[in-house]
Each structure stands twice: as C-alpha cells, then as structure tokens.
Amino acid sequence: MVGMSGGVDSAVAALLLLRAGFVVHGLHMTNWDEQDAYCTAAADYQDARRVCEILGIPLHRADFAEAYRERVFGHFLREYAAGRTPNPDVLCNREIKFGVCLDHLLRLGGSWIATGHYAGVKHLHTGAQLRKAADQSKDQSYFLHAVTRAALGRTLFPLGNLQKSEVRRLAHEAGLPVHDKPDSTGICFIGERPFREFLGRYLRPEPGSILTPEGRRLGEHRGLPFYTLGQRGGLGIGGRSGAAAAPWFVAAKDPDRNALIVVQSPDHPLLLCDRFEAAQLNWLAEPAGSGWFDCAVKTRYRQRDLPCRVRRLDEARVEVALAQPARAVTPGQYAVFYSGDVCLGGGVIETTRPRREALEDCGFTYNRAFTAEGS
C-alpha cells in the first residue's frame, strides 16, 4: 500500500514497486478537514487518482482528520502556547502515516506500507534500520526518526537510492502527469498561508516588551508563541538610536516577564549553545551502556551533522555536548542522532544552555533570564 499524496515522489514510489513485482494499491489520506484557498487536498486527490489510473492500481481513500487534530494539531497548539517551537511533521509521521494509517493498511490486508520519502530502510535480522537518503539535499530521515522500529519493519522507501532529478525523469518517461508538479512546502495543514494569521485563529495574543539583553525596551511583540529563536525580520523595531544599523534577531524568550529578548548579531553569545538536554526519546539503534558516546546530531532539518557526545541522564532524558557551539538550538524542535548514514533515533529538545564563558565575557549573568525559551 503506497501513500499517494498526489505528488511526483509517491507516484514514482508506486511505479518502482510495480516494476519490482509487488501487488500495489494506493491510499490517499485526508488529514485536514478545512477547505479554503490555501488547501490543495481536492486537487491532490485528483492527481493521485489520475496516476493510479495510468498505473492500473486501485486507489483507496481514508479520512484521518479527527486523529490528526487530536494527536498532532492539539500538541502543536499546546507547544506554541507554552512558548516552544514544535515540528508537527515528525508527529504526523509517527502518529498518522506510520500509526493509524499503518493500522488501516493492515485491516485492508496489506503487508507493507510504502511512501515517497527520501530515506532508506534496511531490514536486518536485528530489526529495521533507518538510513539517510542517497540524495542528501532531500534526505528526510530527520522527520522519520520517531517512527517505531515495529512500523519501520513493515516499511519500504523506494526512493532511498535515487536523486530527485532521477525521480522526475522516471515519472516523465512513464507518462505520469505529475512529473513536473512543484514540491509541496510548509507545514502540511498550513500550506502557503501566512503563519501568524493562521496561528492567531487558535491562540490569543498576549503582547509584551521587546528588550535587549541589558533590559532596554525597543518595542512591543504580538505574543511569544509567534516568534522563534534566531528569527530575523517581522519584529517591527527597525533602526534604533544608539544601536548599530544592523538587523535584530530573536535570542530568547522570558515568559516570567512576557518579554522577547533580541540581539543584533546572528552569532551573539545568547544565540549560541554548546549543551542541551533532550527527552521523549525514540531509539532505533539504542546505544549500549550509560556513559558518554560519540555520534552526530541535527537540531533542525537540513542542518549539517554536528559532532557531539551524548550521555543518558535517566531512562527518559539525555545530555548532549556539542563539539562546537550551534546557533539557535530551539526547545520543542527535535535532536536527531546519527552514526554515519544510520539514524540512531532522537528526541525533543527540552532545555538549552548558552555558552557560559561567552556570556560572562559579555558581562551577562548566567541565569534563567538569559537561557533560551526561558529554560
């Protein structure tokens, strides 16, 4: 059963599985139940239908909107209300595509679930192993790290060894009408709509002060949930007398004062972090022992691998020490660990720690007011 989104990637995934001799069915999921100018669900379904007709495979439809609102969107709103920055695509994969959708597939009698994700999966005698895609610029293993090993054990990623250009070429040669369809962007239920406008429909804005680290007031923010660490622009403060003619960046949130802390350098000490903690872990290749171990980590999608050391604090949390400070490590986002091309798993970034020495060099006190997201 191939998850048919209506895009070129899932279309070619189905094509390749047919050529490999599988009995293939398509499944088009509805995960969002609002129809407006920004929602492309109806058009995507028609694209999926046309592709399945050309390939000669059945297309099933399933509505998971209720489960999505409960398991993904509800969590998304709670995290933003708490001043954190969640990544709903990770939860969508775990809870919906490789959760309720996989259960639905099994009820229909399917043996494997396949998608157009750019990632690899090896089925070993010890269990499924998640790997990076051959096309590093499209690799989506970051978004798949929270999928359970049991679900990965029933998963195929036919595009794992292909470049995006090859995928479009195969679609064009097979006469699939989506061969030149643009890639979808943005969060799945938001699409291309203005993010603040969308979030404002669900969260009540609580304006507060925009401050420098020294406490100088520069203006007023719309509400802490509407900003994220490292953000440049959209602050509405422009140039200020006595300050350099340089852009401002969100460096921290202080929920006690409902204040947004901003600085004028993308590499300001408040934006640099060399240690953090992660929780809600899902290990796909669980490290042995309780001491420090070496690996690499990504703290956001399309980031280069960051060398690090990791140790367990308890069954639910780990501490991560980065070899070099990283910029804008953000609570609510995910830390995903790698050993070469193998994804070890990951968890939610809980607390971050700006570089103590750098803060002291700037004359700042290392305390709660100057830790990211108020942690």
Residue 188 annotated to the active site: yes
Active-site option among 39, 101, 188, 343: 188
Nearest to 347 by CA among 273, 294, 275, 297: 297
* Angle separating helix axes 8-19 and 164-173, nearest 10 degrees: 70
Give me the half-sphere count of Cα atoms (radius 13 Å) on the Cβ side of residue 65.
9
Residue of 167, 208, 230 whose CA lies nearest to 16: 167
At residue 359, φ and ψ (nearest 5 deg) are -65, -45
Q: Tell me, yes or no, if 39 is annotated catalytic.
A: no
Q: How far apart are CA 197 and CA 201, in angstroms?
A: 7
CA angle 32, 98, 28 (to 5 degrees): 45
Q: Is 288 exposed, middle or buried (0-12, 13-18, 19+ CB in 10 A)?
A: exposed
Q: Return d(Cα 158, Cα 208) in angstroms, integer.
A: 49
- The single residue of 52, 92, 273, 343 carrying the catalytic annotation is 92
Distance CA(244)–CA(140), nearest Å, equals: 39
Instruction: Give the pairing of strands 249-254 and 272-283.
Output: unpaired
Active site positions, annotated: 92, 188
